[in-house]
Amino acid sequence: MTKNCLYLTALVAVFAVASSSFSQTTGQTARSTDSSVTAVEGESWISFLHRPFGETSMAKTWSLGPAPPRPGEEASSWQLDLSPGYTARTITLHGSDLYRLSCRGCHGEAGRGAPPEINSIIGPVQATSVAGTMERMKKAGREMSRSDVTTVAKESKVLLLQRLHAGGQHMPPPTLSEAEIRSLVPYLEQLSEVPGAEKNQIAVKESPYRVGEHIVKSTCHICHSATGPNPDAKQIFEGAIPPLSTLTTRVNLPLFVQKVTHGAPIVMGTPPVAYRGRMPVFVYLSQDEAAEAYQYLILYPPRP
């Protein structure tokens, strides 16, 4: 079977799943968010900011894949291990998952970011809590009336919600639905040690394509532009980052999943040689999630 033919088969399978069994067997939440999935568009976030790859902490996990095998050595023993029917199931996401998929690439596991480039989310989220602020004021030996604290908390909440809808000057607008925001906020509070936040955690049900969309738009799209020319080995060596529209033809599903979750060598330079590459590894994404990003790119082709 040719490569194209394989892709076509995959597409048809995916469409069948998306249009029949999936929408019939899932709840309302999943169906409505599924129809809201859109293609990734436009240049990467770092090129939009004119920030060179080497001069930013955005989406850098600081973990790199294994070195490529030396001549005569065996390649590392990585194995593809996807859940059966991973494109057809409904996924339950907790606030912590939404954070992981949409925020962690820049703000890190603990939410502290990489100041001064990427601010910590802890302070701004703590400021939204009356109880938390009163407690901290008391500890610091400062006086502030409850009504003043309440005013500040309300303003801080407005700012936080604004950011979750629209992003910031250097932060891309997140792709969050209202239901997702209601699930993410209590997790941000838990991360920021707002008193009682653990009890308020709520989950949302999503389609696999929505998960793929979150990953691609808020992590991959930071470095990879949506479309553009497909760089050759020499251009990659010189620093070119292949656009998202080329990834699903440059590599197959297993290699894509390996590159994202474990790291995989990339062929570059003249003459072309396998290198470890520069792309960070996202160990906190599961293989299923990386595969969902791949299926999302196939089903919703990136647009200029």
Q: Should residue 191 be labelled a site residue for ligand HEC when binding is judged by CB under 6 A?
A: no
26 vs 190 by CB, closer to ligand HEC: 190
Of 94, 102, 95, 156, nearest to 124 by C-alpha is 156
Site residues (CB under 6 A) for ligand HEC, limited to 283-302: 293
The window from 11-19, 34-42, 129-137, 221-229 that contacts ligand HEC (CB under 6 A) reads 221-229
Of 6, 22, 85, 10, nearest to 297 by C-alpha is 10
Among 215, 226, 281, 291, binds ligand HEC (CB under 6 A): 215
Q: Should residue 119 be labelled a site residue for ligand HEC when binding is judged by CB under 6 A?
A: yes
Q: Do the Cβ atoms of 14 and 298 come closer than 8 Å?
A: yes
The two most distant CA atoms of the chain are separated, in Å, by 74
Q: Should residue 171 be labelled a site residue for ligand HEC when binding is judged by CB under 6 A?
A: yes
Among 94, 250, 284, 298, binds ligand HEC (CB under 6 A): 250
> Long-range CB contacts (< 8 A, 24+ apart) of 20-28?
21/88, 22/88, 22/90, 22/207, 25/90, 26/90, 26/205, 26/207, 27/90, 27/205
Count residues near ligand HEC (CB under 6 A).
Answer: 47
Q: Do the Cβ atoms of 215 and 294 come closer than 8 Å?
A: no
* Contact string 8-47 vs ligand HEC (x = CB under 6 A): -------------------------------------x--
Report the alpha-carbon distance of residue 59 to residue 57 in Å, rounded. Answer: 6
Positions touching ligand HEC (CB under 6 A) are 45, 58-60, 102-103, 105-107, 117-119, 121, 124, 160, 163-164, 168-172, 174, 188, 215, 218-220, 222-224, 236, 241-242, 247, 250-251, 256, 259-260, 266, 277-280, 282, 293
